[in-house]
Amino acid sequence: MEILTHWYAGRSQNELATSLGVDRKTLRKYTAPARAAGIEPGGPPMAEVDWRSLAAGWLPELIDTPLRQVSWPGIECHRDYIAAQLKDQ
């Protein structure tokens, strides 16, 4: 959603790639469906919920967003220790 929102606001691909830390090919991948649908930067304001609805149709593989951080279960057993260390700061 962040890529689409910033792209729609008129930021250049170079600006987006630098600020979001993504490759320009990735930007094109995610903005291509919007362009194919006739959406171009600078149009009427769109809320994030609007972008989410559109993206669900364009990129359904991104809608399934369960926890994918595979290292978290290994860290979970240290949660209490980490929390205690953070309290002491």
Contact 35, 27 (CB under 8 A): no
**To the nearest 10°, the Cα dihedral for 63, 64, 65, 67?**
180
Tokens of 85: 């260390």
pTM flag (> 0.95): no
pLDDT at position 15 is: 92
For residue range 29-59, list pLDDT tens digits in order.
Answer: 999 999 999 999 999 999 888 988 898 889 8
Assigned token pair, 80? 């209490």
What is the per-residue pLDDT across 52-77, written as a single tens digit (0 to 9) for each? 889 888 988 776 556 566 777 888 89
> Residue 67: its pLDDT value, please?
58
CA angle 13, 40, 26 (to 5 degrees): 35
pLDDT of residue 63: 67
Question: What CA–CA distances, in Å, run from 13 to 62, 66, 88?
Answer: 21, 29, 43
